[in-house]
């Protein structure tokens, strides 16, 4: 169950992008598990993929195809990651691309495959192609949420976000969907995320935009510290808005577009954490006063990856010693505990080497009780800061992952 049941209003359509979904019976016969995206000719595409060296077959094929052609079609399946499947898995991914290309009338290298689900099992290619054939007949511009549901695995809610800005007097839309609630600690990518805009943007600039955005959104979340074999994040720009093509990072329109894409990506990234497997707490880790942003991120991630800290969050236990121990082992050179401060939901708990004078245990329990927690660590070393979003570690997380393949 998601720790937050709020959601955006209906996702705005992106001219030049159509989705469709179908049921291929990959792991369950009762749910949609294949999604197809078609984008208009001359759409530019930027993408980042997992840095896990044990990457899945669809990642290999998608990277190869992107080096040769701009894509026209995405095929996304849930239920089977097609990872750890060797050359047979690569061949399966290529068969999916070839079959899809024949349905739509494009080159196979213009098809990008994406998979998510159980590692070590092969795709049911025949059933998938049947589902893809159905999708090709159903493509429509308003199926974003259908696609968000079809790509879910252990997610409990679909994840979508949208924004609209003005560029050259033209309304420009950014819409995205994502999936992922476990095996989450992205590295230059995310679980699976698909974003699109109708802005006209030069391709290399679009790639730069995506990398900048990912560094400030999906690469700032962690559920369990695990980077997936299948992570991918893609940004399309169809150019259908009719604006003058953005071709320089110094163009004010670029800043507005990058900010809008980042806003959508952050909402998606935070939605992933709010729906994290078994999560009961949504935690913002705000580390300030660092000598460098890297030091701040190191502290934030050390806290976020501590099982002792995460279980204290789950118990609403103000066990601040666990937090300070994590800060102390984050590897920050020159750290002086006489300068460190710790605040949780506005309550000062630790102040420059000792427990805060006004702190009481009952106040700490009250500060830890809400679903949303904001933990601020002031290192007292400089003016740099960073935020990371994470969650607690519950009994339910263990149960979900213990039973995942059963």
Q: Say what the pLDDT of residue 5 is.
A: 46
* Cα–Cα dist 298/140, whole Å: 44
What phi-psi label fits residue 353: left (phi over 0), alpha (psi between -120 and 50 degrees) or beta? Answer: left
Residue 392's H or E segment, with its range, is none
253 shares its domain with 327: no
Q: Say what the pLDDT of residue 28 is.
A: 87
C-alpha neighbours within 13 Å on the C-beta side of residue 38: 21
> Which pair of tokens denotes residue 191?
């679980």
Sheet holding 73-80, edge to edge: 17-22, 34-39, 73-80, 111-118
Residue 226, domain member (yes or no): yes
303 shares its domain with 398: yes
Residue 8's H or E segment, with its range, is none
Residue 191, domain member (yes or no): yes
To which residue do tokens 């007097």 refer?
Answer: 169
61 shares its domain with 138: yes
264 shares its domain with 303: no
98 shares its domain with 71: yes
* Cα–Cα dist 340/332, whole Å: 12
Residue 11, domain member (yes or no): no
The closest alpha carbon to 235, from 272, 278, 198, belongs to 198
Residue 170, domain member (yes or no): yes
Q: Say what the pLDDT of residue 56 is.
A: 96
Domain termination site, one of 252, 274, 296: 274
* Cα–Cα dist 192/272, whole Å: 11
Query: Domain range spanning residue 154?
Result: 17-274
Phi, psi of 18 (to 5 degrees): -130, 145
To which residue do tokens 């009762």 refer?
Answer: 30
Q: Say what the pLDDT of residue 344 is.
A: 98
Our count of domains for the chain comes to 2
Residue 261's H or E segment, with its range, is helix 252-274
Q: For the chain, list residues with pLDDT below 70.
A: 1-9, 188, 190, 406
95 shares its domain with 35: yes
* Cα–Cα dist 30/68, whole Å: 37
* Cα–Cα dist 102/77, whole Å: 18
Q: What is the pTM of this model?
A: 0.94
Q: Where are any strands of DSSP class E within 23-133?
A: 34-39, 44-49, 73-80, 111-118
Residue 67, domain member (yes or no): yes
To which residue do tokens 């030091």 refer?
Answer: 295
Q: Which long-range contacts (CB under 8 A, 24 or more apart) does 371-374 make?
A: 371/3, 371/4, 371/280, 371/281, 371/282, 372/281, 372/282, 372/283, 372/284, 373/281, 373/282, 373/283, 373/284, 373/313, 373/344, 373/345, 374/283, 374/284, 374/286, 374/344, 374/345, 374/346
237 shares its domain with 319: no
* Cα–Cα dist 153/140, whole Å: 23
Residue 1, domain member (yes or no): no
Residue 2, domain member (yes or no): no
Catalytic choice (154, 190, 302, 390): 190
Q: Say what the pLDDT of residue 1 is.
A: 45
Q: Say what the pLDDT of residue 2 is.
A: 62
> Which pair of tokens denotes residue 392?
């607690």
* Residue 282, helix vs strand vs coil: strand
Domain termination site, one of 230, 252, 274: 274
DSSP symbol at 132:
H
Q: Say what the pLDDT of residue 7 is.
A: 52
User: Which spans in 216-339 are helix H?
Assistant: 252-274, 293-304, 307-314, 320-328
315 shares its domain with 199: no
* Cα–Cα dist 184/403, whole Å: 18
Helix (DSSP H) and strand (DSSP E) numbers for the chain? 11, 15
Q: Say what the pLDDT of residue 6 is.
A: 45
75 shares its domain with 144: yes
Catalytic residue at 190?
Answer: yes
330 shares its domain with 202: no
> Which pair of tokens denotes residue 313?
């969050």
Phi, psi of 317 (to 5 degrees): -100, 120
What is the domain-level CATH number for residue 322?
A: 3.10.20.340
CB 52 within 8 A of CB 227: yes
Residue 216, domain member (yes or no): yes
Q: Any idea of the CA torsion for 384, 390, 392, 398, to the nearest 10 degrees?
A: -140
28 shares its domain with 53: yes
203 shares its domain with 339: no
Q: Say what the pLDDT of residue 29 is.
A: 84
Q: Say what the pLDDT of residue 227 is.
A: 86
What is the domain-level CATH number for residue 181?
A: 3.60.70.12
CB 137 within 8 A of CB 127: no
* Cα–Cα dist 291/377, whole Å: 13
Domain termination site, one of 247, 274, 301: 274
DSSP character string of 357-386: TT--HHHHHHHH-SSEEEEEEE-SS-SEEE
Question: Which residues have C-beta within 8 Å of that of residue 362, sequence separation ≥ 6?
Answer: none
């Amino acid at each position: 169950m998601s720790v937050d049941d709020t959601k955006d209003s209906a996702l705005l359509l992106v001219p030049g992008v159509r989705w469709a979904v179908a049921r291929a019976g990959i792991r369950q016969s009762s749910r949609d598990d294949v999604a197809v995206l078609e984008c208009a000719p001359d759409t530019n595409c930027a993408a980042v993929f997992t840095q896990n060296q044990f990457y899945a077959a669809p990642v290999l094929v998608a990277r190869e195809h992107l080096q040769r052609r701009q894509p026209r079609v995405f095929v996304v399946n849930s239920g089977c990651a097609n990872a750890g499947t060797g050359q047979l898995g690569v061949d399966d991914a290529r068969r999916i691309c070839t079959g899809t290309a024949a349905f739509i009338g494009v080159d196979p290298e213009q098809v990008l495959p994406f998979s998510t689900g159980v590692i070590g099992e092969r795709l049911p290619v025949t059933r998938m192609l049947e589902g893809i054939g159905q999708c090709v007949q159903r493509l429509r511009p308003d199926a974003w949420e259908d696609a968000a549901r079809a790509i879910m695995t252990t997610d409990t809610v679909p994840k979508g976000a949208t924004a609209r800005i003005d560029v050259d007097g033209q309304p420009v839309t950014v819409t995205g969907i994502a999936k992922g609630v476990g095996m989450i600690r992205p590295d230059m990518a995310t679980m699976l995320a698909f974003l699109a805009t109708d802005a006209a943007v030069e391709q290399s600039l679009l790639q730069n935009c995506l990398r900048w955005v990912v560094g400030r959104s999906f690469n700032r979340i962690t559920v369990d510290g695990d980077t997936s074999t299948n992570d991918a994040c893609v940004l399309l720009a169809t150019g259908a808005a009719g604006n003058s093509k953005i071709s320089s990072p110094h163009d004010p329109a670029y800043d507005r577009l990058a900010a809008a894409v980042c806003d959508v990506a952050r909402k998606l990234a935070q939605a992933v954490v709010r729906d994290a497997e078994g999560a009961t707490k949504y935690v913002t880790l705000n580390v300030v006063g660092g000598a460098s942003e890297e030091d701040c991120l190191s502290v934030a991630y050390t806290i976020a990856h501590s099982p002792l800290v995460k279980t204290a969050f789950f118990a609403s236990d103000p066990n601040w010693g666990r937090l300070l121990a994590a800060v102390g082992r984050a590897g920050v050179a020159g750290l002086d505990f006489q300068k460190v401060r710790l605040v949780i939901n506005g309550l000062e708990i630790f102040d420059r080497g000792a427990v805060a004078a006004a702190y009481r245990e009952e106040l700490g329990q009250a500060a830890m009780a809400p679903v949303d927690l904001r933990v601020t660590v002031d290192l007292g070393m400089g003016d740099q800061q960073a935020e990371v979003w994470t969650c607690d570690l519950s009994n339910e997380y263990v149960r979900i992952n213990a039973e995942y393949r059963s």
